[in-house]
Structure formats: C-alpha cells, structure tokens
A and B are shown apart, each in its own frame.
Chain A
Amino acid sequence: MISERLAGRRIAVTGATGFVGTALVERLLRSVPDCTVVLLVRNGRRTSAVDRVRKEILKNNAFDRLRAELGADFDATMARRLSVVAGDVGTDGLGLNDADRTTFATCDVIIHSAASVSFDSPLDSAVEVNLLGPTRIANLLNDHGPRDDGTFPHLVAVSTCYVAGNRRGTAPEELVSDGPFDIGLNWRTEVAAARRLRGDSEAASRLPENLARFRSEARSELGAAGAPALAEKTEQIRERWVKDRLVEAGRTRAASVGWPDAYAFTKALGEQALTESKGAVPVSIVRPSIIESALAEPTPGWIRGFRMAEPVIISYARGLLDQFPGVPEGTVDVIPVDIVVAAIIAVAALGPSEAPAITQVASGSTNPLKYRTLVDNVRDWFTEHPIYDSQGQPIVVPDWKFPGRGTVEKQLTRAKTLITRGEKVLQALPLRGTQAEWSAKLEDRRSDVERALEYVELYGLYTECEAIYSVDNLLSINDRLDDEDRRNFCVDPRVVDWPTYISTIHLPSIVLHSRVKTTPGKTVVDRADRLRKQVLDPRRHVAAFDLENTLISSNVVESYSWLATRRLNSPERLRYVLRTLREGPSLMSMDRKDRSDFLRYFYRRYEDAPVEQIDADARELLAQLIMTKSFPAGLRRVREHRALGHRTILITGAMSFAVEGLRPLFDEIVAAEMTVRPDGTYSGELSRVPPTGETRAQVLADYCAAEGLRLEESIAYADSSSDLPMLEAVGFPVAVNPETRLAAIARKRGWLVENWEKAEGGPRPLLPIGPRVSDGEQKRFTTRTGRIGTRRNDR
C-alpha cells in the first residue's frame, strides 16, 4: 500500500542532516522506489547546502546498503531522485529564493523533522527553530497558495511525546492545549519574551563590571599572552556567558510551566502555534519518544550522533558515573529509529484524509522497557565486554544504584568543588613540566565530572516523567498495513525484544561510535611519538625557539648577575646579592604585568658597561652559565631541525651579546639590542625592544613571509602561556616544560609536550655569580670607569 501510494510523489524533507532525517531520506529512496525527494538544507558556514547533502547525508553509513544495492548507478539515481533547496526553518519565508520556494511549496508531502534537539540549546534558538519552524512552513505554503490541482501539500510535522510535560499516567494522542492540564500559555508571548531575553542578556554581558570580569577570567586563563589573544578569549567568554544564561533561562522557564526542558517546552508550543496558524494546509503530527539506534533498517544498530542515553551509558562504562537518578521499576520510553521513520512514512502515505492528526510512536504502553532491565543488561554487557583505560587496563563497571536526583547532584557538585579547589591551588604554584601536568589531569577529571553532572541535570528530569504515551493511532495504522508494508515499514513497537536489542544491537553500536578503547594493552604508537614524528618531518619549514626555560633554565636576571658580578670583589658581591634579593619581588611583579616594560627597565642597568669587557665576558657566559644550565635534549632538537633542513630561529628577550654564543645553532636570532656610545660603552637604551607576547607571533610571521616560508608548516617551542600567540600561529606548537596554564592548554588541544631537563650530574651553582677573574685579566678593563653592578641604586 505504502509504496503504491507514494509512487511518483514529490516529498520534501527538512532536517535531513539529523538522526531521523537521514534515516528517513534513506528509507524513502530505498523502499519507495518511485518517489523523488526535495531536501531543505541550510547553507553551512563554509559549505553550500548541496555539498552538505553530499558530505553529511549521502556519505553517512546509512547509505551503505543502498549504495551496495545500486552499485554503479548510485550517483546517477541520487542525481535523478534527489534535489536540494537551500533554506533555513529559523528564518521567516525559510530563506528560500523564488524558484526554490515554488519547488518546495508544490511538493506532495512535506515532512518537517528539523529541530533544535540539543537538550541544552539556548532558549531563543529553541524558540526560533522548534516553536516557530512548523508555523513558518505553514505560512509559506499558505502564502504560496494552492497547487495547480487546488490542494495544499500534506505537512507531516515531527514532534515529541514529551510535549505532554511532566506528568504521571496516560498521555493521549491529542494536543496539550486540548487536554486537562493546559495552563493557557500564549506562544506569541513566549516568543517575544525569548527574543527580549536575548537582547537583555547581550546588553548585560556588555556591562562594564561584567566585561571586567570576563577580562580578568581570560587573563587568569591565558596569562600574559598579549592583547589580541586576550581580546579574543574575553569575547569567547562573553559569548559563552550569554549562551549559558539563555540555556539556563530555557531550562528554568520550561520547568516553571511543567516541561522537562526547553526542547519539549518549545515543541509543545510549536504544535499549538502550528494548529493555530496552519490555515488551509493539512497537518499531521508524529510524536516519537526517545529515539535510539535502529532495530533493523538500514542496518541493525545504525545511529547518527551522540544522543541522550549514549553519553550516560559510556560514562558509566568508563567508570565516571556510578549512579543515575531513577526508580528501578520506572519505564524508559525508548523507540528504535527505524520504527519512527516507518511511522512517518506511513502517515505520509495515508495522506491528510486518512492519517490521524497526531500519532505517538512510543513503547511504554505496549512493550515497556523497565529501568532495571536496561541497567542490568548494560552492566552485564560491559562486564563481559569491558572498555579499557589509557594504560590498557579493563575498567570494572560499578554496581548501579538508584538514588534520587538530588543525592546524585549533591555528590557530583561536591566532587566538582573539591577538584576545582585543587586545581586553583596547583595553578597558583610555580610548577613546570611533569608536575604541571597534574593540574592538567585534574582539569580533565573536572570536565568529566562536569559532564556527568550535566547529564544528570538534563536527563535526570526525564526520569521524573512517568507518563505512559498511548499509541492507539499508531496501532490502528499498523492494522491498516498489508503484509508487504509490515515487512518493509514495520511500525509496531511490540516487535522489540529489549534484552536482545540492548545487548546485541544498541550497545555494540554505541561502543563502536564512541571510539572508546575496546582492546587491552597500550596503543602501539605513543601519541607523543607520533606528534614528534610530525614535528621532525623534512617537509616542515621553520622551527622557532624561545630561550628561557625552553632551551636553558635561566633568565635575563641571571645572565646580568653573572656578568655584573664577574669583576666585583667579595664585599661588593655580597652587597650585590643582597640588593638583588631585596628587589626580587618588585621585579617579578613588573615582569608579570608587562614583559617589555620590565626588560626595558632592567636593561638600563647595562648603562656604562664597556662593550669590549661585556663581549669578552659573554664568551665565558656561554660555557659557565648557558651550557651549564642548558637542556641537552633541547639543543639536540635544534640541531635535528637544522639537519632536516629546517630554518631555526631564536626569539628571546635576552640581550644579543648574552646569546651570541648560540649563534651557530640558529639561522636567525631575534634578541634585544642596545645602542653603544662613541666612548665604547653601552647606553642602557634599547635600539630594538625584544619581542614579547603577540609580537613574537608577528616576528615569526614576518620572517616566514620574507623568506617565502609557511607558518602552518612551522614549529614553535615555548614554555609559557605568554607565548600562546606564537604557538597558536604555527602549525606545530610544542610546549616545553610548560607552566600550569600552558600545560592545561596543551593537553586540551593535543599539542606535543616535551619535558627537557638539565644534564644530570651537572654543576648546580646556587647563585648566578660569575667566578672572579684574575688580577691580570681585571687590569684589562679597569681603566674604564664603568663597572656595572656596583652602583647603589643600580637603576
């Protein structure tokens, strides 16, 4: 019956890139051989609607079966039967051009499955898509007027069972507004309120005190990364804040009027709006419950995207979540996607006159899956097929408890608070390298807990929905199907054997999808090795290095101290050390505020230093300070890059004479330069301010541009979050002995992290004090007055 009735029909589908949409399009093309399909798809940010259809729909494994059946004819068949119009259900008129509008409005059936299904979407975007989407389609059809035969297309709108809201007992197949629990909400008022809330939140986010807070948050996350990076981060935080407020608004508004979340709430009002404004357009509504992986079509276990139960199940299997609210005897209303798709197609085939106004597709009333059955099956399955942690050890799944929602939330919140506190403490400590990674690990752990908490908050609400969705209309449709239809378009929820479905279809499929480790043992190629191989590839162009704490464990103050004390006698040395120690804190705070200012201020101390003496001493500096404090693995890495034919560039805040000894390692050294007076002494003023923060990225970009090399083929090594702009600018960033913040960022973004150390056993001088030169050597320069390091104020 179904294939005959739909043969030769033109069927429009919205939301085809979604879970139900993809399965629907595939089934229409495969099981209704003579229909053509028009897809309304949004243009992507970079890809056109047509490309999206090709990449996101036709390449999906849902189409593997059809592709195999059609063989070489696949592309031709798709071209013949499938057409695409670019549009967006979130804008009035669907954003269609005239030709596309005609194509769309003259279809025989329009199946509207586009929705903002994310359970944490901001209220306003849920309103635009879920509430107004169906109405917009109806308006468009009414505006366009009837087709040549005087009829309007049959609009089949996909909704959800949960429009019934939080209630116990039977939820019949009728509009909420027609039922006894209607509280008389006006959808127009809700639309206006949601839109105003967006405006208000945007405005609030721009209040000075909020902007200041975002900025300081960005600074504490990035450190001294430079103004542009800070600005970008601040704006991200602001947008995130606005979004969070709107998500929260959606959740609380929905809860306040009796729905589990913004999705169900906006869908419910959407049905109401559609009914009010459908005009002459014939409308049927299909309401599925929680849609899960396919029972049989196109293949058993087929699923698209990560939906509701999957993240919870995987979190449980990973040992992150050992409890989830709910009562063991409660019903979890799950329905396989192919039954939903078949129901939609059956409704479309029956046509406006025969199809019920509302059809619920759910399992709870005829073939209920009990919470305990689900949990027992999941636990048994993961006990038999454990997933493995990063060390290759199987994870033992915990015993499931059935606590109330409050208990779980309280526990998770407490865990989150503790971890966050620990993280703050670690971040405040001056840690580097391996220790800094503790903090990164803790952050991972926190995001795990945060995610678990989110699931509980979001989905826990659904477990409180104890409504039983009646499926009388669905069963009557089933009765009207002939044998062939029942074979090809099974709409009967009673055919599902839950234990079999869970353990042989659903779980294997989602484990495969979630890409968790399912085999023991460590992965053969270490991730760091893989990244290192990419970094040490002859195709790379430039390797840029920071100096301090990246190649040597020293800083500008040390090299100055070394040079300054080399020619001082013992009492002078002692005075120098005491004075420098006293200055330490103020120098450090200055450095934290602005590195360039600090360097300019600090380097003034070289004023009056004789060039010849500094140059002579700088040669010893290489051996006694730089090499002593060098990281041999770091120097080896520089040389490996050179051997591979990469350009090497050192970008440092150090004085040029202090790093002169490293010249043979680098093609280019960018350092601070100081002007020399005619009498052969340093002026203390910089002729080139050393690059810091974002200027480092600029220096590197300029170098690449001048030499015809590519930044995205380049590598940067640095240790601190102030080098973020440079690290972000290149294709291959490497965090060396990262401090806590950078360690966290590197971990999040999957950057290579190297922990380089000084040579074991090497000398460890307590203070960077130059060894005294002999009297003879001293005489070479004493004719000059400028002995640095002795002046009392030592500007």
Chain B
Amino acid sequence: MPRPGFVLDVDRSTPPILFWRGENFSLEKLPAGRSRVIYAPEPLPAIDDVDGAIRNALLNPIDQDPLPAQLFAGMKLTIAFDDVSLPLPKMQRPDIRQRVIEAVLDLAAEAGVDDVHIISALALHRRMTEAELRHAVGDRVYDAFAPRGLLYQHDAEDPENLAYLGATPHGEDVEINKRAAESDLLVYVNINLVAMDGGWKSTATGLASYKSLRHHHNPDTMIHSRSFMDQHRSELHKSNWRMGKVLLDSGVKVFQIETTLNTDTFPSPFGFLAKREWEWKPSDRMTYIGTTKALNRTPNRIARNIFHSIEAPHQMTSVQAGEVEAVHRITTEHVYKQQLVEVKGQTDILTLGIPYISPYNVHSIMNPILVMCMGLGYYFNMYKGMPLVREGGVIIMTHPTRPEFHPVHHPSYIDFFEQVLADTTDPHVMSQKWEKQYAEDEWYRHLYRTTYAYHGVHPFYMWYWGSHALKHCGRIIVVGGDPKTVRRLGFVPASTMDDALEIASDVVGRTPTITHLHAPPLMVADVS
C-alpha cells in the first residue's frame, strides 16, 4: 500500500533536504522549528492489464456510444494525440499513446474505416522529430502512416488547414485544425500528467490556431487562474470550456480518451531522488555523492544529454473514454488521488528546486525563461485553495540559470531574452508593447512551420504563466544562478541558501516560516 503525501516539520534531527539544481542537485539544511517539507504521495499501483483496460474504456465509454458503434466504412476519422511535452520525463516504451492509438486503429480497421489521419496536437509547441514521433506512437503506426503523409503535426499557422468555428459569448474566436473539425469523429488521445491537462483544453488548445489561443494565453487570464490545477477556479479552463461548447455546437464530435499515470518518475539508479531523505540507505547516499561529484566535473552539454535520456517507469493508473467533460471529471479525481497532499496554512518563504526538465525543453535546454516558467508558472501553481506562499512572501529557487538557449528549438526565446526582458519584465507591459511583433513575425513563423522551433509568441506565454506569482510574491531569489541572467529576469541572485534566506529577511523578517515543495515527483498542495 503506497503511503500518502506527507508534510514534514523540520527539527534538529532532520537531515539536509534534496534540492534540484538543473542537471544536478544539492542538499540544503533548512532552519529547524519553522521549516517544513512537502513530500509527494508514493506511486499508486498500476493497472496490470493495460490493453484490456483500454479496450474496455473504448467499448464502454462514459455518456457516449461505444467507439465501434461510432465507426463506419467511408467515414473520416482523425486521431489527435498529446505532443512531446507529455509525460515528463518521457515514458519507457511502449508509450501509453501508442497503446491507445493502436487499440483505436484496430477497431477502425474492424469497422472498415480507411480515411484515418493522425495528428500531433502541438498547438504552438515545436514540431516533434521523427524519433520523438516514433517514441510516442510506435514504429508500426509511424511506418504505416507517416510515409503516406497521414501522420503529421498540427500547424497553427497554416491558413489552408484551419477552420473557423465561431466565437464564444465572451468574444473568443474558436479556430482549430480543419481536418479535425471536419472529421466525422475526432478521437483525442491524452495523457493527464497534472490536473491542468485534458478536458476541453486538449482540443481547444492543442489543435487551435494562434488567433484562438491568444484569448486565454494572456496575462489577464493567467493572473485569474487560481490555480491552473484547480479547473473550477481557473480562468484558463473556463475559457477552454466555453470554446468546447462552440466546438460541440458547430458539430465537432469528440471521443475523448484520457489516461492517468502514477508518479513513478525515476528509474532505479536515480531512485533516491523520490525518497525521503531520512530513509536514504547508505547505497542511496553513495549514489548521491557519486552522482553529484561526477556531474560537477561533467560539461553541461553532456550532463544535459545524460538527463534527457532518462525514461520514466511511469505506469498507467486509469483510462476513461467518452464525452469530454464527464471523462475529465473522473480523470481529475484520479490525478488528485495520486498527487494531492493536505497542507495546513501558508508560508513566508516557498523553496523550489528547479529540475532539468519542463514541458518545453524535452531533448533541449532549460533556458532562463523556462526556469522562470517552471518555478513561478508550474510549481507555484501546484495548489488547490490558496497558494503555498502567502501574499508578499518570497520564493527561493535553486537552479544554475545559465544564459543558454537551444538555437533550433528556442530562437524567439533568445531574442525575447535580449530584447524584451532587457526592456521590461512586466507581463502586461510586454503583452501590449512586444507580443504582436513576435507573434506575427514572418521568420519565427517560418521556423515554427518548417523546423523544430517554438512559435514566436511562445516565450511570452511562458512569462505570462508566471504572472500570478510575479504579482503575488514580494521577492524572487535564485540560488546558484548566473547573476547577470537572474537580474535580467528581474530576480535576485544568491550564491547559497543561507545568503538567500538573509536576502529574504528584509521582506519576511528574521524568523520566517519556510516550506519546501519536494518535487519532482509532482504533487498538488491542498492548502487550507
């Protein structure tokens, strides 16, 4: 029986706590008596018969006819799937998407469906490479569809292949992939890693155009999403749900398949990363020392390659299919069951160890903007109820925050860093002053469409992601970060955790309460 999440009160006997620092980690001693550490629940047991469960979900969907009943010869069937941003880290083969897509294709074949398109729903993310596509959908599906041009990637900037479906009562344009919109049935294959994923966000965001996305990816929506992990208090989700209504009304038929994974994040040699420090065995300690010592002597580029080759032993804990909203309700329950940790009260200082990976740098570089997004956009938002850190409190992140960028994946990030952040770090100001220029830039559009680059506007979205935290917190400190880079982000650099606490003291006093979110593995704090 896996143990639930746990909040540890740090006392004098508590060993130093593990903090992620990009492609490395450190052990930090937190002050006794006023610090606590939030640990994620242990991975839930997986479903043994994954293929059986998938088939069962397809044959017995929620609030919809069984999938075979919806398939007929001569129909247009489109299967859309979540892109490379999920799950994190990438899961060991076979990927759950491959299993679901193969099951759907089997049923389609039985029904004599021969017009099938498979689309990677990447919104404004970068296109997936061939290797990444093969990893997600499997070689069999790839070889059968890709060479004939039937397996491809959504293009949010291709006017020929987008369909405008109308606007919500709030005036939000709904424009999604034309093939998906015009199919007799759209099957969406999702991986619900966190509570934010899935539901109408799958289709209304994953398959949308920039014109449509900008209505909910902006500072106002983001600042009023409290949090992204709590659908009912998230403007982002409300907007997506309104768009879902437009999709339904315009006749788009969606068969939603959602899956949840347990938090079995790291394979065996890295097992200690998910363990509670006082339970470390001598072998864990040795591995920790060996790994950090070795990483200190490893060039960044190589360390990065080592970490990005990690494949997680994630296992499926649930699969449900059918009507979008009904399916998503059950999915969310499963996610919460795995990730929710009850926490009493807010804290003065929230400490976060930023790891090497975020949804936007798979096989790539965690650049400074993504560091900000990971800390203030994701980890800060890992709450239900109220933020872990009190209003006016301090966030301390640990990450090297080097001014490093992937030239192919993040070209507009480089310019955003040099141009926009040099000018302003205020999400509202930059959205007024700079966003349009980047969003409509011909060169970024060209790179997004033909190479493996994120859309020109993407760095803005990453920055907006942290809008609420920027407004909420009194100071952001980065321990171990490159000082010039950290200052460019508008944060304060500190060389050690002690220095950071010292720097925080003029905002939160000399004896602040401190809370450390011990992630990954991921968790959501239910703060009351």
- State the A residues within 8 Å of B (CB): 619, 622-624, 627-630, 632-633, 635-636, 639, 643, 661, 663-665, 758-764, 774, 776-777, 779-780
Q: B411 to A627, Cβ gap below 8 A?
A: yes
Q: A633 to B418, Cβ gap below 8 A?
A: yes
Which residues of B have CB within 8 Å of A763?
301, 406, 408
Also in contact, A636 and B415, with CB within 8 A (given A759-B407, A760-B402, A776-B143): yes
Q: B414 to A759, Cβ gap below 8 A?
A: yes
Also in contact, A761 and B441, with CB within 8 A (given A633-B418, A664-B446, A776-B143): no
Also in contact, A774 and B130, with CB within 8 A (given A633-B418, A761-B402): yes
Which residues of A have CB within 8 Å of B406?
759, 761-763
Q: A761 to B405, Cβ gap below 8 A?
A: yes
Q: A628 to B408, Cβ gap below 8 A?
A: yes
Which residues of B have CB within 8 Å of A661?
446, 450-451
Q: B405 to A632, Cβ gap below 8 A?
A: yes
Which residues of B have CB within 8 Å of A643?
437
In the complex, how many angstroms separate the beta carbon of B430 from the nearest chain A beta carbon? 17
Q: A627 to B447, Cβ gap below 8 A?
A: yes
Q: B404 to A759, Cβ gap below 8 A?
A: yes
Shortest Cβ distance from B127 into A: residue:
A623
CA distance A629 to B408 in the complex (A): 9
Shortest Cβ distance from A625 into B: residue:
B408
Q: B143 to A635, Cβ gap below 8 A?
A: no
CA distance A758 to B407 in the complex (A): 8
Shortest Cβ distance from A761 into B: residue:
B404
Q: B443 to A665, Cβ gap below 8 A?
A: yes
- State the B residues within 8 Å of A (CB): 130, 143, 146-147, 300-301, 365, 367, 402-408, 411, 414-415, 418-419, 437, 441-443, 445-447, 450-453
Which residues of B have CB within 8 Å of A780?
147
CA distance A424 to B473 in the complex (A): 58
9 extra interface residue pairs, beta carbon distance < 8 Å, beyond A639-B441, A761-B365, A763-B408: A619-B450, A628-B407, A636-B415, A639-B443, A761-B404, A763-B301, A763-B406, A764-B301, A776-B143
Q: B442 to A760, Cβ gap below 8 A?
A: no
CA distance A661 to B453 in the complex (A): 13
Interchain Cβ contacts under 8 Å between A and B, 12 examples = A623-B452, A627-B411, A627-B451, A627-B453, A629-B407, A661-B450, A759-B405, A762-B365, A762-B407, A774-B130, A776-B146, A780-B147
Shortest Cβ distance from A643 into B: residue:
B437
Q: A627 to B405, Cβ gap below 8 A?
A: no
Also in contact, A777 and B147, with CB within 8 A (given A665-B443, A761-B405, A761-B406): yes
Also in contact, A760 and B403, with CB within 8 A (given A627-B451, A632-B411, A661-B450): yes
CA distance A629 to B130 in the complex (A): 21
Shortest Cβ distance from A619 into B: residue:
B450
Shortest Cβ distance from A631 into B: residue:
B407
CA distance A138 to B365 in the complex (A): 85
Which residues of A have CB within 8 Å of B407?
627-630, 632, 758-759, 762
CA distance A757 to B437 in the complex (A): 24
CA distance A431 to B329 in the complex (A): 63
In the complex, how many angstroms separate the beta carbon of B410 from the nearest chain A beta carbon? 8
CA distance A629 to B402 in the complex (A): 19
Also in contact, A622 and B450, with CB within 8 A (given A628-B407, A761-B365): yes
In the complex, how many angstroms separate the beta carbon of A620 from the nearest chain B beta carbon? 8
Q: A622 to B451, Cβ gap below 8 A?
A: yes
Shortest Cβ distance from B442 into A: residue:
A664
Number of A-B contacts (CB under 8 A): 81
CA distance A779 to B447 in the complex (A): 27
Which residues of B have CB within 8 Å of A779?
147
In the complex, how many angstroms separate the beta carbon of A272 from the nearest chain B beta carbon? 72
Which residues of B have CB within 8 Å of A639?
415, 441, 443
In the complex, how many angstroms separate the beta carbon of A28 from the nearest chain B beta carbon? 61
Shortest Cβ distance from A764 into B: residue:
B301
Q: A624 to B418, Cβ gap below 8 A?
A: no
CA distance A763 to B406 in the complex (A): 7
Which residues of A have CB within 8 Å of B147?
776-777, 779-780
Q: B411 to A623, Cβ gap below 8 A?
A: no
Kindly name the residue among A619, A774, A779 whose own CB sees the greatest number of chain B CB atoms within 10 A. A774
Shortest Cβ distance from B300 into A: residue:
A761
Q: A762 to B143, Cβ gap below 8 A?
A: no
Shortest Cβ distance from B415 into A: residue:
A636
CA distance A178 to B437 in the complex (A): 86
Q: B405 to A664, Cβ gap below 8 A?
A: no
In the complex, how many angstroms separate the beta carbon of B134 from the nearest chain A beta carbon? 8
Which residues of A have CB within 8 Å of B367?
761
Which residues of A have CB within 8 Å of B452?
623
CA distance A761 to B403 in the complex (A): 8
Kindly name the residue among B402, B441, B451, B452 whose own CB sees the greatest number of chain A CB atoms within 10 A. B451
In the complex, how many angstroms separate the beta carbon of A553 from the nearest chain B beta carbon? 11
Which residues of A have CB within 8 Å of B146?
776
Also in contact, A623 and B451, with CB within 8 A (given A633-B418, A760-B404, A777-B147): yes
Q: B443 to A624, Cβ gap below 8 A?
A: no
CA distance A764 to B418 in the complex (A): 22
Kindly name the residue among B403, B405, B443 whose own CB sees the greatest number of chain A CB atoms within 10 A. B443
Shortest Cβ distance from A629 into B: residue:
B407
Also in contact, A761 and B443, with CB within 8 A (given A622-B451, A628-B407): no
In the complex, how many angstroms separate the beta carbon of A17 from the nearest chain B beta carbon? 51
In the complex, how many angstroms separate the beta carbon of B365 from the nearest chain A beta carbon? 5
Q: A761 to B301, Cβ gap below 8 A?
A: yes
Which residues of A have CB within 8 Å of B365?
761-762
Also in contact, A627 and B301, with CB within 8 A (given A636-B418, A776-B147, A780-B147): no
Q: A760 to B405, Cβ gap below 8 A?
A: yes
Which residues of A have CB within 8 Å of B405?
632, 759-762
CA distance A623 to B403 in the complex (A): 21
CA distance A632 to B419 in the complex (A): 12
Q: A636 to B419, Cβ gap below 8 A?
A: yes
Shortest Cβ distance from B144 into A: residue:
A776
Pick the 8 closest A-B CB pairs, nearest first.
A761-B404, A623-B451, A759-B407, A632-B414, A664-B446, A762-B407, A627-B408, A759-B405
In the complex, how many angstroms separate the beta carbon of B326 from the nearest chain A beta carbon? 39
CA distance A683 to B451 in the complex (A): 28
